[in-house]
Structure 1
Amino acid sequence: MVRIPVSPRLIGAVLAFFVRLWHLTLRVERLNTDVFTDPELRAKRPVIMLWHDEIFPLIPAHAGERMACVVSQSKDGEILARVLESFGFMSVRGSSSRGGMRALIAAKRVMDEQGVGIIFTVDGPRGPRHKVKPGAVFLARHAGSPIVPVRAVMSRAKVFHRAWDKFQLPWPFSRCTIIYGDPVFLPELGDDPAEMQRQCEHLEQIMNSLGKNL
């Protein structure tokens, strides 16, 4: 059987098309939007913190926002990078497992040169699910940037239970509520791993509290 190679660019373009169509069917509501759109906050190049399983509705909802995303160096990451770029995002390649420090350095460079914030799926690329890894904290501290937690709460969704993140795909014509948390300004952490871990746990609590009453 002959295998026909398909480029990530083509797959990404097809996926982006379907994501756009799918998003048009959703009823999207945003809470605490002023935090995210505040010009003073955007000038501080915030680090936007997401959970991996909630990214589907968040990508098209923020198309053209002129931000960068940290994306895994895996083959799936290559496809995701193409999807993100089609929505106007810049991509920085790397993850906690592959090219992590290089990705953080590249992300800091993009923040400095382009004056943009960075989007992190803080429990990616392989989990554990809903556990904040230190990459976003490290970057925010060295960039002098606030962290903004963002959640997407879906009224009805197909949950992929076999996936490590239990990825959520909102059903067409369902409601999606995007919640922007207040910015978190990190204290000076130094290089103490224990303090870094405490800060990660604190951010987990903040993320888990968003949308709790929806």
Structure 2
Amino acid sequence: RRKRIMRAIGTPFVQFLGPIILKLYSKSWRHRVTADDPEHLKALKETGGLAVLWHGRGLSMIPLFKGTRASILVSHSRDGQIMGDMLQGFGFDTIQGSSSRGGARAMREMLGVLKSGRTICFTPDGPRGPMHSMSPAVAFISRSTGFPVIPVGLGIDRAWHLNNWDRYTIPKPFSKLVSHVGEPIQVPRKVTEEEQEEWGERIRQALLRAETRAFEEVGAEPDW
């Protein structure tokens, strides 16, 4: 009962104050964007696509997407709802859905967002892991919608890591962040289930390469 009371009090507190605190905190970060090719940035910010980054970088993505028309996919869990409220405080749109709940409705919303030329941000190893795994939904969404997957790696030179499955990253004050945008990957419409799995592995490897490149650009060793 005590835990329920603390949640009832703490959740609104986090939802209201979280964005305010994070806005102030994230202003100390020194962030820049790199890409394999400048054309890759167009897919991220102009023509629309499915931007994928690892779940543990959820906080680190804020500088990259702030001020854009990005929509963030969040889970139906209590933690997902709290995160969604905080992201909305930053001006992001959110879409609620997962592979187990709200999937069909989320797919309809995502298709509408993509057709409007906006980007959807998706964490393929969330919400439960394992770390750096690839949800089959990523290749399926690209195949079904005709929009590309855009791998986004995030490198941070100084950070704390939570002791959980994704080693969630919290950049330290005044740390350097690099967002590296890899080559967009379009999954063909006519592929077998086995081929779709192979495309999923290609996307996973591309995301790992983008993450490695981001750490090279920031001048630090990968932290996983």
Aligned pairs for 1:61-140 (under 5 A) are: 61-112=64-115, 114-140=116-142
Distance 1:56 1:35 in 2: 26
Alignment correspondent of 1:168: 169
Alignment correspondent of 1:182: 183
Alignment correspondent of 2:210: 210
Q: Over residues 67-91 of structure 1, what are the superposed CA-to-partner deviations in whole Å (9 max), with x where a residue is unaligned?
A: 2111100111111111111222211
Q: What SS does the corresponding residue of 1:165 show, helix, strand or coil? A: coil
Alignment correspondent of 1:145: 147
> In 2 relative to 1, CA 30–43 (structure 1 residues): closer, same or farther, beyond 3 Å?
closer
CA shift, 1:207, in A, is: 1.0
Alignment correspondent of 2:198: 198
Is the 2:56–2:168 contact (alpha carbons within 8 Å) kept by the matching residues of 1? yes
CA shift, 1:115, in A, is: 3.6
**TM norm structure 1:** 0.87
Alignment correspondent of 2:161: 159
Q: Counterpart amino acid of 2:77? A: S
Alignment correspondent of 2:38: 34
The runs of 4+ residues in structure 1 deviating greater than 6 Å are none
Q: What SS does the corresponding residue of 1:145 show, helix, strand or coil? A: coil
Greater shift, 102-111 or 65-74, is seen at: 102-111
CA shift, 1:102, in A, is: 3.1
**TM norm structure 2:** 0.84
Is the 1:47–1:119 contact (alpha carbons within 8 Å) kept by the matching residues of 2? yes
Q: Over residues 14-70 of structure 1, what are the superposed CA-to-partner deviations in whole Å (9 max), with x where a residue is unaligned?
A: 1111211221111212112834542x7655421111100012121243212012111
Q: What SS does the corresponding residue of 2:133 show, helix, strand or coil? A: coil
CA shift, 1:208, in A, is: 1.0
Q: What SS does the corresponding residue of 1:183 show, helix, strand or coil? A: coil
Greater shift, 100-109 or 43-52, is seen at: 100-109
Distance 2:44 2:167 in 1: 32
Q: What SS does the corresponding residue of 1:98 show, helix, strand or coil? A: coil
Distance 1:177 1:43 in 2: 20
Distance 1:41 1:29 in 2: 15
Is the 1:35–1:181 contact (alpha carbons within 8 Å) kept by the matching residues of 2? no
CA shift, 1:211, in A, is: 4.1
Q: What SS does the corresponding residue of 2:62 show, helix, strand or coil? A: helix
Q: What SS does the corresponding residue of 1:65 show, helix, strand or coil? A: coil
Aligned-pair identity in percent equals: 30
Is the 1:47–1:148 contact (alpha carbons within 8 Å) kept by the matching residues of 2? yes
Distance 2:33 2:117 in 1: 25
Q: How many residues align?
A: 210
Q: Counterpart amino acid of 1:169? A: I
